[in-house]
Amino acid sequence: MFRLTALALCVSFLAACAPTTAPLPAVVSTPTPLNTTAPTAPPTAAPAANSSVGYLAGHVTIGPLSPVERVGVPSPVPPPEVFTSRSINVFQADGKTLVVNVKFNGDGTYRVALPPGNYVVAMARGGIDRARGLPQSITIESGVTTTLDINIDTGIR
């Protein structure tokens, strides 16, 4: 009998504590990605105040993505992570002083604003990737986009 009374009291207490209105909707938040730069607005180097800028931009291809690729069979399309996990470094003309590390967008493009001048572009090392033609010296002119397309060899054989 005592157990039944205690149970009835608990049920009464819980019923009294229950909300009389509908519960509030859950708050849904979208996590902020680590790279907050939108694909249409890639990372840019901060130019010096009161100076004009030029741009370095290009498209990146990456391959091979599997050890055996057959003639006549198209290579697989790289997922966005294959591009976003890689980057290039832009150095001052001495090739040693880092100006900016540029991450690639998920579609294999990149664009960065730089003050006019001479620079050296190189792969940011992070594995066995190699890029033919890098490091390469470039010249950035005010208001001009310099295009440097990059073909990354993953070393998979």
Q: What's the half-sphere exposure (Cβ side, CA atoms, 13 Å) at 81? A: 2
Contact of 64 with 76, CB cutoff 8 Å: no
Residue 47 pLDDT > 80: no
Residue 157: pLDDT band (50, 70, 90) is low
**65 vs 96 pLDDT, higher one:** 96
Residue 77: pLDDT band (50, 70, 90) is confident
Task: Give the residue from 144, 152, 156, 122 showing the smallest Cα distance to 55.
Answer: 144
Helix (H) or strand (E) holding 99: strand 98-103
Q: What share of the chain is helix, strand, coil (3-state, %, to 5)?
A: 15, 30, 55
DSSP string spanning 11-38? HHHHHHHS-SSPPPPPP--PPPPSS---
Residue 70 pLDDT > 80: no
CATH of 54-153, picked from 3.40.640.10, 2.40.160.210, 2.60.40.1120, 3.40.50.300, is 2.60.40.1120
Share of the chain above pLDDT 70, in %: 66
Residue 3 pLDDT > 90: no
Question: Whole-number mean pLDDT of the chain?
Answer: 76
**76 vs 81 pLDDT, higher one:** 81
